[in-house]
């Protein structure tokens, strides 16, 4: 019986903030991301396929060491489908992305263009990221895949790399070119008889019900930093379509928290020890003024920083400037800078990056 597992937004790379010691070209945080991916593969061993819904890599030019480790990890899975995400790609020209080195792996299929895959009586409609306004290309891509003949009784499942806009989405993201309205997704699923949909791109996990099943925004398998604060990340989603069973497995990995007191720090440390998460703390408010607390937290083995009011932007600017030093291309430099730059709570970094790329490609006009 078919079982499919889904993850998204792994963002394999060498993060700069609290990167830690480098071994064979990979720093400590980079290895934590790789370890999280390996645990996700282990949690999907009994699945017909592990589907990565985009942004396997954090940059379109990952280092040879990163590529080698990803190859090693993915080879442990029975079958893997990797959808191209916006972070993986340079352009939508075939092959102009970071997924090429995975193609020789016999158990891995890279998805650069919309395609349909079948598993017993389940059809997986796979739609990778494309440039341009998704309101124009996404419905057409789903329509074309849904028109491919399948045996009667086949259950259709959709995988794609776009954020989902609902009533809780901030106004500044409501017209994002890399996100699609919830009602549009529901309408396409209803029209073409799609039972379940799984997507990547936006890093917060979320679920919505539909008439036949549901929609899952997988959320980041690895949060990228303090712009993804909290515990609610690192999920592998599992679906058994024939039984209409949907569930998830929490995967230990990096977690980034803001704490305002020693009690909050102790509670976070206790939870991290129980779950196996690697903890990163920012001490804010009164806790930021307590230098002894910062020393205590670091003695616990927790990576921590103290950010007093007014210092957040300056510290982020320094981190962003440092991150750019290792960039090999303008696209890579832009991605690294925006990943570390200071932004107000609720501002989506991927949206900022997309707008910056659009501005640069237009020659500043």
Distance, CA of 320 to CA of 227 (rounded, Å): 13
pLDDT < 70 stretches in the chain: 309-332, 336, 342-348, 350-351, 357-365
Handedness of CA 61, 66, 72, 74 (dihedral sign): negative
Q: What's the pLDDT score for residue 285? A: 86
CATH class of the structural domain 4-250: alpha beta
- Which tokens in the block code for residue 246? 């949907």
Q: What is the DSSP letter of 154?
A: P
**Where does the chain show beta strands of DSSP type E?**
4-7, 22-23, 26-27, 49-52, 80-83, 108-111, 115-119, 122-127, 155-161, 163-165, 179-181, 194-200, 206-209, 214-217, 235-240, 245-250, 254-259, 278-283, 303-306
Query: Do the strands 206-209 and 214-217 form a parallel or antiparallel pair, or are they unpaired?
Result: antiparallel
| Predicted local distance difference test score (pLDDT) of residue 360 | 61
Q: What is the DSSP string of 278-302?
A: EEEEEE-GGGGG-HHHHHHHHHTT-
Alpha carbon distances (Å) from 350 to 99, 177, 192, 281, 339: 20, 11, 30, 23, 9
Please report, for the chain, the start and end positions of each structural domain, with discontinuous segments joined by +: 4-250, 254-361
Q: Regarding beta strands 4-7 and 22-23, do their DSSP bridges make them parallel or antiparallel, or are they unpaired? A: unpaired
pLDDT digits (tens, 9 = 90+) for 236-290: 999 998 888 899 999 999 999 999 999 999 999 999 999 999 999 999 988 888 8
Residue with tokens 């954020």: 163
Give the pLDDT of residue 290: 84
Question: In the beta sheet, which residues pair with residue 161?
Answer: 200
Alpha-carbon distance 97 to 311, whole Å? 37
Using a pLDDT cut of 70, give the percent of the chain over it. 88
| Residue tagged 């074309």 (tokens) | 144
d(CA 257, CA 95): 38
Q: Which two tokens stand for residue 184?
A: 């549009």
pLDDT of res. 227: 85
**Measuring CA to CA, which residue among 280, 254, 248 is closest to residue 37?**
254
In angstroms, the CA 137 to CA 131 distance is 9
Angle at which helices 330-340 and 349-361 pack, to 10 degrees?
150
The pLDDT, as a whole number, for residue 101 is: 96
Q: Which of 41, 39, 57 is nearest to 276 (CA)?
A: 39
Task: Quote the Cα angle for 109-113-115, to 5°.
Answer: 65
Q: What is the reported pLDDT for 301?
A: 87
Name the architecture of domain 254-361. 3-Layer(aba) Sandwich (3.40)
- Give the count of alpha carbons within 13 A of 266, CB side only: 5
């Amino acid at each position: 019986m078919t079982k499919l597992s889904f993850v998204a937004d792994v963002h394999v790379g060498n993060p700069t903030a609290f990167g830690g010691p480098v071994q064979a070209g990979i720093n400590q945080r980079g290895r934590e991301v790789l370890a999280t991916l390996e645990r996700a593969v282990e949690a999907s061993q009994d699945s017909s396929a592990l589907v990565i819904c985009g942004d396997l890599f954090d940059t379109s030019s990952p280092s040879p060491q990163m590529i080698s480790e990803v190859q090693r990890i993915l080879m442990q899975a029975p079958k893997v489908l990797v959808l191209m995400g916006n972070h993986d790609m340079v352009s939508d020209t075939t092959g102009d992305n970071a997924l090429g080195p995975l193609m020789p792996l016999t158990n891995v299929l890279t998805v650069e263009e919309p395609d349909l895959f079948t598993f017993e009586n389940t059809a997986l409609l796979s739609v990778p990221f494309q440039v341009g306004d998704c309101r124009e290309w996404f419905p057409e891509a789903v329509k074309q895949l849904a028109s491919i003949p399948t045996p009667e009784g086949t259950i259709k499942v959709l995988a794609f790399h776009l954020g989902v806009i609902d009533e809780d989405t901030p106004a500044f993201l409501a017209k994002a070119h890399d996100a699609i309205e919830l009602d549009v997704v529901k309408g396409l699923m209803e029209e073409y008889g799609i039972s379940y949909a799984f997507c990547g791109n936006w890093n917060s996990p979320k679920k919505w019900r539909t008439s036949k099943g549901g929609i899952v925004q997988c959320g980041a398998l690895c949060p990228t930093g303090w712009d993804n604060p909290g515990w609610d990340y690192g999920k592998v989603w599992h679906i058994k379509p024939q039984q209409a069973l949907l569930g998830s497995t929490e995967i230990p990995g990096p977690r980034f928290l803001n704490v305002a007191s020693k009690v909050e720090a102790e509670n976070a440390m206790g939870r991290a020890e129980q779950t196996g998460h690697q903890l990163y703390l920012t001490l804010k408010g009164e806790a930021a003024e307590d230098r002894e607390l910062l020393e205590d937290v670091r003695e616990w083995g927790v990576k921590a920083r103290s950010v007093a009011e007014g210092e957040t932007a300056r510290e982020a600017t320094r981190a962003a400037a440092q991150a750019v030093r290792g960039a090999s291309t303008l696209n890579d430099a832009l991605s690294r800078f925006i990943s570390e730059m200071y932004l107000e709570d609720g501002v989506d970094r991927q949206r900022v990056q997309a707008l910056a790329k659009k501005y640069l490609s237009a020659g500043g006009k």
